[in-house]
Amino acid sequence: MKRISLLYTSARPHLILNVLEAWKEKASSWNDIEAIVVTDHPYDGKFPNMMHLINNERHDCVTGWNIAARNAAGHLFVQVSDDLMPPQNWDQKLLSLSKSLSFFSLHLLDERGLCDFVFHPVISRSVYEHFGYLYPASFKSMYCDMWLFYAHK
């Protein structure tokens, strides 16, 4: 079982391999990571440890992330977007932060350090199983990650 699941939904297939490469390059060990990629249409790209799924439901990022989460096998779920890049050794940092916890959500800041925004939502499998979804299905689009942080505060 992979320890970390990257939940990645994209409407820009031309960016997917570059985004995954950036996450892989900054990881300590890609062997512990799976990338669940959800698109609205067929996608032919291949990448190590990547599972591709087609969103046959409502075409928006919330639905895509929920589909990715439903199919994830990891202990940690990390939401990925086309425009969010991780710091160096991000995987080891996350594993270190969560090593003794089983029920958690992490509020991680980006390089600007804005405390009222969530840029890399991370939750445990236990939190996902408790709620039964990453985001409520009634959510439609952007800034849903803010709910994730406030719901788990």
Among 47, 48, 122, which residue's Cα sits nearest to residue 79?
122
Please tell me which residue, 107 or 57, carries the higher pLDDT value.
Answer: 57
Is 47's pLDDT higher than 60? yes
pLDDT class of 102 with cuts at 50, 70, 90: confident
Q: How far is CA 135 from CA 40, 68, 86, 93, 140, in A?
A: 18, 11, 22, 24, 10
Is 54's pLDDT higher than 90? yes
- Contact assessment for residue 79 and residue 43, using Cβ atoms and an 8 Å cutoff: no
